[in-house]
Structure formats: C-alpha cells, structure tokens
Structure 1
Amino acid sequence: MSHPHPDLPTPPPLAAGALRVVALGGLGEIGRNMSVLEYDGRLLIIDCGVLFPEDHQPGVDLILPDFSYLQGRLDDIEAIVLTHGHEDHIGGVPYLLRQRRDIPIIGSRLTLAFIEAKLKEHRITPTTVLVAEEQKIKRGVFDLEFVAVNHSIPDALAVAVTTPAGTVLNTGDFKMDQLPLDGRITDLRAFARLGEQGVDLFMVDSTNAEVPGFVTAEREIGPVLSNVFRQSEGRVVVASFASHVHRIQQVFDAAHEHGRKVALVGRSMVRNMGIAAELGYLNIPAGVLVDMKDLDALPDDRIVLMCTGSQGEPMAALSRIANQSHRISVGQGDTVIFASSLIPGNESSVYRVINGLMRLGAKVVHSGNAKVHVSGHAPEGELTYCYNIIRPKNVMPIHGEVRHLIANGAIAVRTGVPAQNVILAEDGVVVDLIDGQASIVGAVPCGYVFVDGSSVGEITEAELKDRTILSEEGFVSLFAVVDSSTGKVVGGPQILARGFAEDASVFDDIRPQLVAAIEQSAATGNADVHQLQQVMRRTVGRWIATKLRRKPMIIPVVVEA
C-alpha cells in the first residue's frame, strides 16, 4: 500500500498563513499514531508510535509510520511532542531519530523516562525537553501549551498548538475518570479556557466513540482484583500492558493484602516498572516484589506473576506459558487475569491464548466475565461533554478505526459542530486550516513500513503475501535438465513438495505432461531458460489447482546441458 487514497490529488503548496495537518498513522487503525503540523515551512510532530502486526503479516515485528513524507525536510522539524508513554505513541521514535538524531523530544517526566530507556537500547542519546501540565513553551513558530489528561498511564498530556493560523488542540489518549488512583484528573478547566479563547481544530481520541456513557472509575477495579486473589487457590498470573502503572499498582496492593509475593516477567515489564518505581509513580509495598529465581521456594498460593502478553502476542510471556514453552507453567488451581482491554484486530490471538490456558486447567478471568479492567479512552458521554465545553470550530477525529472516527464525528455534529466542519480523514490525508476553515486538500503516500528483525522497510506487501502462501498453500520446486541443442529433457523433471498431505507419488501423473510441455515449447523456438521455467510453472500450477485444489508457491529451475 503506497498510496491509500488514489482518488485524492497531491496537495498543493501550503498557502501563506495556513496551517497543514498530515496524519501519518493512527487514523483508520489502532496504533502507529503520528501527526505532522506545518506552518511557515516549519514542522511539528505529535507522537510517533508503532502498530503491532496481525496474523496475515507473518514474521513482522513492528509496523512504523511512513516517514517518506519527511524526506528532504528533516531539518525543518522543530520537535517531536509525545503525549504519553504507550508504545503506539512512542515506539517509532528510535527509527525516526536514526534519520536525524538531534530532533528535540518534548514530553512529561515518565514519558521521557520511558523513551530514554528505549533509545538507550538503540544506542541513541536524545535531546529532551521536560514539560508538565499548565506549562507553555515556544518551539520556532509553534506556541505549545500542555494540559493534564487522565489515561491508563500516568503523566499523559494533551497539547494545544497555536500559530497565526489558529489553535489546534490534540487530546492524545484520554478519558475523564473523576476518581483516578493518582488523583490527577483531566483538566476540564483548561479545556474550557482554551474553548473560550477559540479552538480552531480539535483533534480528539476516537477509540471508544461507539461506547455509550461514562468510563468506570479505576478505583472500582481494586476490590474486584482483591476478590479474585481471595478466591484463587494456586498461582495468580496477571497479564497487562508493560506500561499500565495504575493496574500494576493495584496488583501489588492486592498481593500485599493477601500475603502474596509478586515477580515481574518480561524485559519490558521489568524495565518500565523499575522506572516507574524509581520516579515515584509506582509504590511497591515492602517485601512484596521478588525475583523470578526466588519463586521455587514459595508455595503456589503465595505467588503472583505480573507479565506481558494480554493481546495474545506470540512471543510474549503469556502466549509462551499457554504454549508450554516458558519456564513458568500453569495448571489446575491457578488463575490467569487479563487486565487490559481487547484491542480490535487481536481477538483471535487473545482467545487462542485463553483457550490454551484453560486447556491446561487454569481459570481465566477477563473483562468479558469480570470487571478486572476499564478502558483508558473516553466513551460517548465524555466526548459529548468535551465538545460542549470546548465548542471547537472544526473537528478531526483521531486514534481509531474508521468506524470509531465516524462515530466520533457524529457526536461532534450532535453537539452543534457543522457537518462540513467535521473532517473524517485517514492516514496520509492532508488537511489545511485556512481562515478558520479546515478542509481536505489532498493526500500523500502513507503505506506500512515493516520492521522484520534488523530490516526496516525492506519487507513489502508482495513478500508478506509470499509468506502467507508458503504457510497456507505449501511449496513446490521443479528441476529439469534440457539439452540445449535438441530441446529434449535429459534429466528429471524432479518435483519436491512441502506442506502437502498427499504422498509424493501423487505427482507421478504430471511428470509426462511436464516433459511434453517443455519439449513442445523448445520445438516452437521458445527454448530460452526463463521461458521454459514459466512453462513448467504454468503446467504444474494448473494441474495442482485442478487436482489438489491448492495454489502453492512454485519455484522452477531449468539447467541447459
């Protein structure tokens, strides 16, 4: 996918006095959030995250935003603003900094601590700018004001960006929990004040726009977790995002209440919780945290394992536990808690892990059968509240699949935003704010950039299709030796198949047809090696499709003698 909107033209040069917004990720998907704002030739980036692969993308580790829009303009970037420390907002930063290492990174204390630890693994020392709520700073032509928002990670910020073209308010991910664990609520007073001053473009989180009502308070989860711990006879395994400090705090509190010890499982979990505890965002009761190597000395009813893998990621700890490929095992009497929301697209992976755990005898508790998690995103009632407070002139829903964006836009219209001022854009769509009116003016290439091991951007959609064919349809190699002077087949053809249930003898029927097709092609003057290989491919491909109902990958080789 190189251009997701071929119906839209290449955008014209940005008009004098206008502000341009280009989303390079996060619109039409849950992940790889990244927006670029441009004014007077200068660029400001808000977030730079990753998207995690789905089943039809075998072998892919991460999916990045397409940075090609920034090629030739890296020196125009004033800064990267990070709204919070989740991977879908910060995971792409190391790959962008590979192209220009001194781009300043602006963020809150915990967010910067997370990104600095990540960049250290990439051997990059960043230039950082620490900010907090209620703070205002200026970066080039952009005046920035930061607003506290409540989310499923501490220190999340919304950012208001003001230029002579107008003010853009980007919420980042947020909700309006009125009783958060850390007492830090979404600053609706600041939202109201910005609304009074005039918000020309409201870029607002859409993830839960289809969910009615208001979010459940985080404080209600603690008693539920405590009750699950009380009823558990054996080990308790809790799966969560490695950055969900509030949920992990509740796990530590419940473990302390019931006399259990907690071990952190997974490199990212250990790293992030170490940072959170060091900075004071996580309060670990004395004596509760233990090392993995100390678990063997403890009875099962005193053990809690806090691990990654709540989205069914195949290499995460929980998936490996379910597959019995991890040093940790679960069985009868053990309880596994999925303490996270189900991200759209991950359903089959998560249920596969749940089934695997239950097959081993574990009891599985998840948001479908107990209130062990609440979302970090504002539902319909809270979004309506925000629209009524801010009264934005234009709205651009962000962070969500297409259905979420449309639902969010509908909420805006119901609160009085003119329908023509609601911009439903997807990745790559270019939106200009001119004289207070936002409109779509074109689109830029904005495909997926795949990270596969050490390669970045080298894997294409065609190669992923080949991988899928190999995994689903099998592989056939053909080998024949042809006399270069007579065109007769003097060796083979040999047929080697992998991924077929049928015995190798099933291909005996096609060998005479294959010889005849090669010799007939050579007799008509088509004796070029490449042409003969194509004849082999077509002949065997048609036969397999008819006889075996398969479409495998076929690799023909012809050698002249």
Structure 2
Amino acid sequence: MMWTFGVLRCLDEAFMQEKETNLLGGEKKSKPKQHRFYRNTKKNTTQNTAKAEMAAEEIKKESKKEATKKKPSAPKKKEKRVEEKQPKRTKSEANIQNTKPKKAEKGKKTGKSSKMPIRIAFLGGLNEVGKNMTLYEYNGDMFLVDCGLAFPDPDLLGVDLVLPDFTYVERNVDRIKGIIVTHGHEDHIGGLAYLLKTANIPVYSTKLTIGLIEGKLKEHHLLSSAKLNVVKPGDTVNLGAFSVELIHVNHSIPDAIALCIRCKGGTIVQTGDFKIDMTPIDGDQIDLNRLAQIGSEGVTCLLSDSTNAERPGFTPSERLVGKSFDNLFRQAGNRRIIVATFASNIHRVQQIIDTASALGRKVALSGRSLENVVSVAKELGYIHVPDGLLVSIETVNKYPADQMVIVTTGSQGEPMSALTRMAFSDHRRVAVGPTDYIIISATPIPGNEKTVGRVVDELLKLGAEVIYERMYEVHVSGHACQEELKMILNLVKPKYFIPVHGEQKHLQKHGLLAQSMGIDKKNIVIADNGIQVEMTDKSIRIAGNVPSGKVYVDGAGVGDVGSVVLRERKRLSEDGIVIVSASVDAQSGYIVSGPEIITRGFVYAKEADELILEAKNIAARAIEGKLLRSPDLVAAKTKVRDDVGRFVADKTRRSPMIVPIIMEV
C-alpha cells in the first residue's frame, strides 16, 4: 500500500529533522554532547507530537481510501489455505492462512459483549531485561508469545543463563496450541530449546527467526523432532480459539513482527520489539497502514515495547550508522579496522561489509555466535557478500593492515568474547597494537558499563585507537522512542493498555505516555512477572498469580542451582573456606588423629600459624566435649562449625565457610 506524499512529508520532517547537520566530518564539537535527536527536548516535544499525530491521521485516511477501492459487486471469497511450497524447514502449515482477516462490520467493534474474559499471563520480560514470555488464554485454549533467556547478573556466580519458570506452561501443555516468536534475539528465542525438551509445542515464526532457532535446536539434538513452521507478515495463524495476524515491523534484526490477536473476546495488538525506521537497510518499512486499519476496526488492548519509553523524540535510522562507517573507515588510513557489534545485528554487519567492499578491504569474522548468525543469514538471503570478500580469521595476518576489516563479538565486554580476548592479548590470531583502529558499534547495556570500560582501557594500553558511541554516531537503538510510541498509540487507539518489555521505570513512563494520549488511567495496567491480567469489553483487572521466577542454567544442569547454592558461592568468593578434619575413636569419642585445618581463599596458612593453631585447639575441645558425652557426630560437627566460625570472625572480621569432617575409626 503506497503512502501519500503528505504522510511521508510529515514523517520525514519529524524523523530526519537536523539529520544532515553536525554529522561526522562536520564542525568539531568542543565537548561530548547528547545525541542530537535528544537535544532541545522541551522545545521540540509539542512539535514532534503534533507531527506524529498528523502522520497517524494521514495514514488512517489513506487506509480508509484504500479500503473503498474494493469493488462492491465482487463476490466474497472463502479464505484459502497456503498451498505454495514452503522451505524445507516447514513441518506443518495446517493452521496458517495467507489472507488477512475479514474487516469488522461498519459500526461494530471487535470483541462485542462477551462474558468470557481473555487472560494474559506474564511469565517473563517485565521489570527486567530478557527472558520474554507471555501466555494468552481464551475459552480453554492457550498459546505462547516468545520464549527467551536472560544473561546472569554478576552476583550469580557460576550461572550461565537464566530461563523463565516453565511450571505453568508444563502444567497446561495439552491446552497450548503453539508458540509464536516475534524475532530472533536471544531474549525471545533463547529458552525454546529448554522448553521443547519437555513440551514439544509447534513453533511459528518468520524465515530468518526459524533459521536461527534451528541452529539452537541442533545444538540440543532437538531439530528432528521439533515442529517448526515458517510464516510471513500478512499470514494468519489459527491457534484454537485464537487467530493471530502477523504484521511487519522494523527492529535491529530483520524479519521482526508484531501480532494482531483475535478471538471472540476481543482484539489485542502486541508490538514485539520495534522502531519506526523510514529508511531501513532492507527497504521494508513498518506496516503502519495495517496497524491503522486494525485500529479503525477496534482494539481491545495494546501491549507495546517500553525499552526506550524514557527517551524523547524518535530513534534514528540505521542508515546513519552506515554514513559514520564510511567516514571512519576512510579516517583509519592504513590501519587495520576492527568493529565490535551485536552478533544478531545483521543490518549493521551488512553495512560493514558494504563499506569494506567499497574501500577494497577484506572482511573476517571473529566469534562463534557471529559466524553462526552470518552463516544462516547468508544461506537465507538476508546478507549479501561479494565473492571473495569474506576470509577466515585464521588468515588475517596474511593481509596488509590497510586491506583488512575484522568484525567481532564482545561489544558488551563479555569475559570470553573475541574483543575481550584481544584486549587482554589472549586471542589466538589477532594481536592488537598501534596499527589497529577499533570501533565499538554498540551502547553498553545497563550494568555492563564497567566491563566495557575495562576492555576499552586495555585496548588503549596496547596502543590502538578506540572509537565508541559517545564520540561518533556508530550505534542506534532498535527500539522506539517516545514519539514513535505515541504514534502507535494514536494509530491503534486501544481501550486498554499494558506496557511490556522493560524495567519498572520504563513501564511506568510508558503508562504515563499512554495517559497523555487519552487512555484512561484505570484502563492501564502495570504488570509484573507472574501476574495474570483478565479483560472483557467492560473492564480489565489483575486476576491473580501464576508460577513464575528464574531458573538458572549452570553447565549441563537446569534448575538445580537455587538461592542456597548461590549464597554459598557468594560466601566462598568473598571469605573463602576453612576445612576442619579429624578422626575419633568410635567407642570412646577421643580424637585419634587431627584436627587438621586447610584453608582456601581465607588466609595464607604460613602467615597465620598462631590463628590456625588456636583454631585447631578450639576444634579439638568442641569435638571431644560433645562426643565424650554422646556419640552424636552431627552435634559434634555443628559445635565445631559454630565455635571455629565464631573464633575466626572475632579475629579476622571475616565469615568463611566452615566445613567440619569427622570420621570414626
């Protein structure tokens, strides 16, 4: 559907205002400034809001004009099922239609007068970053949206990944008709392999997302049994009482979708992760026209991405990063270029490849996740690489510095990532030095600032020049800012609103934005993980709770690490361990050997002879004092733990873990 010039003019003015000013290579700034799209917020907020609303109205008018073009005499056709041959990864297409749902009759709203409520249970993704998972229920039927993971906080020692709690899903697995995945980021697909081990639910998503899911299932030896279905924007997936229409949106990974969820109880729109990019790298703009049409038909509830709800203005286009790359690559001169970015940001990688090709440089990839994503994207046609441009990381040293670009993982300072290993001179093939020009094309995720800063410092010590977002425009977000969020609210016009995908501050700010767009405060729900929201056409409320929480993955173990284990690990990491061992006579209770004391991470034994000797004496008195009265080894161990622990804490102001080992002979 073509947009009118008026719509484009409104959006272009709002989005690209000042875009060509102060770009890289222009006038030097005397000090770092806030991103230009976020400056002068107070001055421009009213103007931008007006433009967003004007654009939304133009889109709605265009949608209505388009709808009137249909011939009234044309006979109604029954919806046809998809008959075209799907890619080999498609297992079943029985529930997929490639026709859009019939428009509501004039004057009627969807979800008219239904006593049966729609229920939405949030199993992850609220008040946190990651492990997104939402469960919809109506008339006994259920389906899931997304199944992601989160990465552990630094205090979760030894934990590799964090998953949602699948208890409620497993309890209702016979009622769950499928999982629809909105896009291929880890926080939306990373938990699927763990869920499908116990609940083989059909999975529906777009081609690239399914390709990335396949790679994960292959690692877990689940690919052959998985029920994977490739769908595309415009398709409708029928899941029991629900029909779910897929709508194209822009994000930092291709093939992202929003969902229009219909049942007899009403219509719900879930945006997924999105931004409004008028100049996307792949040329496919977000389908605002379809969202406007759905809004005109009547929407019961909107669930919308809240990640950037605190940021005013619009999110800049991904193309701006490409312009920065062109300037920076030229500034690099005869130095080798190393670019760190998110492995899943395929459009970013494409721009790096295009710029390197234009300047006659080869490209090498460093990092397993990056190599896997690029391989899948190439196979499916989402990345285009000129013949001979990509070379193996094993051969980078065969090329002159001015002919090489290395794309690497590690933009968040991950301990085992390729960039971190380069920074600490631990990379097998890349030795960083003064001839390297390093671009970190990402913003540190909240909480990662220190680790990223440490990596930057180490790279600078090695003599490399390091470029990052505060200096140049080498990263833009994949999430919508305030004016885009307002535009979606204005287009969809929901009766109820639930902000999702963000921390508490993001959810609350998004709720306030919704109020500013005319949604009644009582119709806005700020939910949390484990909350079940219930809605009808007359009301929305928090109906109760469902099992939720965090399941920790530690190596091959899933869920076997709990709070007690984590507390012990934290204590060990901070104060160390003291092991007290002794052998006692089983008949008399007298000590026949020991006590011996071994410490790790507590004090260096040779420098604490007096402390260790006194601890031995205390342990001996505790053991014999208990066993001479009663042959109770458990009581004796408890006495040793208490007495030695009290003594050590008094002398050192530390609380190491005390482990008594008493053996009878």
TM-score interval, normalised by the smaller of the two chains: over 0.9
Following superposition of structure 1 onto structure 2, how do residues 511-522 of structure 1 map, counting pairs within 5 Å? 511-522=616-627
Confirm or deny that 1:115 pairs with 2:220. no
Deviations 1:237-268 (A, max 9, x none): 21222111110011111211222111111222
1:154 and 2:254 are equivalent in the alignment = yes
Moved more, 434-443 or 24-33: 434-443
Aligned residue runs from structure 1 range 83-162, under 5 A: 83-101=182-200, 103-124=201-222, 125=224, 126-162=226-262
CA contact (8 A) 2:193 2:217 kept: yes
Matching of residues 375-394 of structure 1 within 5 Å:
375-394=477-496
| 2:651 aligned partner | 547
Structure 1: stretches of 5+ with no match in the other structure: 1-14
Which residue does the alignment assign to 1:329? 431
State whether residues 30 and 344 of structure 1, in contact with CA within 8 Å, keep that contact through their aligned partners in structure 2: no
Bigger Rg over Cα: 2
Task: Give per-residue Cα distances to partners, 1:40-61, cap 9 Å, x unaligned.
Answer: 1111100011101121112222
Q: Note closer, same or farther for the CA distance 1:405–1:268 as it changes in structure 2 (3 Å cut).
A: same
Q: Structure 2: how far apart are the matches of 1:346 and 1:527? A: 53
Q: Report how far residue 468 of structure 1 moved.
A: 2.0
User: Residue 171 of structure 2 aligns to a residue in which SS?
Assistant: coil
Written as runs of structure 1 = structure 2, the 5 A alignment for 1:407-446 is 407-446=509-548
Q: How far apart are residue 387 of structure 1 and its match?
A: 1.2
Structure-2 separation of matches of 1:314 and 1:58 = 13
CA contact (8 A) 1:58 1:468 kept: yes
Residue 634 of structure 2 is aligned to residue 536 of structure 1: no
Partner of 1:463: 565
- Paired with 1:520 and 1:80, the residues of 2 have a C-alpha distance of 63
Q: Using a 3 Å threshold, how does the CA distance of structure 1 residues 500 and 98 change in structure 2: closer, same or farther?
A: same
CA distance in structure 2 between the aligned counterparts of 1:530 and 1:96, rounded to whole angstroms:
41
Equivalent residues, number: 545
* Contact 2:170–2:199, Cα closer than 8 Å, also in 1: no
| Structure 2 residue aligned with 1:277 | 378
Task: For 1:274 and 1:31, locate their aligned partners in 2 and report how far apart those are by CA, in whole Å.
Answer: 25
The residue identity in structure 1 corresponding to 2:234 is: E
Residue 308 (str. 1) matches residue 409 (str. 2)? yes
- 1:137-185 per-position Cα deviation (integer Å, ceiling 9, x unaligned): 3222111111111000111100011111111111110001111111112
State the match for 1:346 in structure 2. Answer: 448
Take 1:132 and 1:280, find their aligned partners in 2: how far apart are those partners? 15
1:348 Cα deviation after fit: 2.7
Q: CA deviation digits over 1:365-388, x for unaligned, max 9?
A: 222222101000001121112112
Measure, in 1, the Cα distance between the counterparts of 2:336 and 2:600.
42
Tell me the distance in 2 between the aligned counterparts of 1:216 and 1:192: 22
Quick check: 2:602–2:656 contact (8 Å CA) kept in 1?
no
Deviation at 1:526, TM superposition (A): 5.0
Please name the residue that 1:452 is paired with.
554
The percentage of counterpart residues that share the same residue type is: 43
| In structure 2, distance between residues paired with 1:97 and 1:548 | 50
What residue number does 2:305 align with? 205
Q: CA deviation at 1:416?
A: 1.2
Normalized against structure 1, the TM-score is what?
A: 0.93
Q: 2:327 aligns with which of 205, 227, 237?
A: 227
Aligned-residue Cα RMSD (Å) equals 1.8
Question: In structure 1, how many angstroms separate the alpha carbons of the residues matched to 2:455 and 2:156?
Answer: 19
Report the alpha carbon displacement of residue 501 of structure 1 after superposing the two structures with TM.
Answer: 4.2
Question: In 2, Cα distance between the equivalents of 1:301 and 1:384?
Answer: 46
Per the alignment, do residues 511 and 501 of structure 1 end up closer, same or farther by CA in structure 2, a change over 3 Å counting?
closer
Corresponding position of 2:280:
180
RCO higher in structure (CA 8 A, sep ≥6)? 1
Question: Counterpart of 1:560 in structure 2: which amino acid?
Answer: E
CA gap 1:167/1:471 in 2 versus in 1, 3 angstroms: same
What SS is found at the alignment partner of 1:513? helix
What is aligned with 2:344? 243
Equivalent AA in structure 1 for residue 221 of structure 2: R
Shift of 1:106: 0.9
Range that drifts further, 407-416 or 124-133: 124-133
Aligned with residue 509 of structure 1, among 601, 614, 619 = 614
Structure 2 gaps, min length 5 = 1-113
**Letter of the 2:612 counterpart:** F
1:281 Cα shift?
1.4
Shift of 1:488: 3.3
- Give the AA of the match of 1:319: T
Whole-angstrom CA distance in 2 between matches of 1:119 and 1:516: 58
Contact (CA 8 Å) 2:578, 2:602: kept in 1 or not?
no
Alignment match, 2:65: none
1:294 and 2:395 aligned: yes
Asked if structure 1 preserves the Cα contact closer than 8 Å seen for 2:115 and 2:536, the reply is no
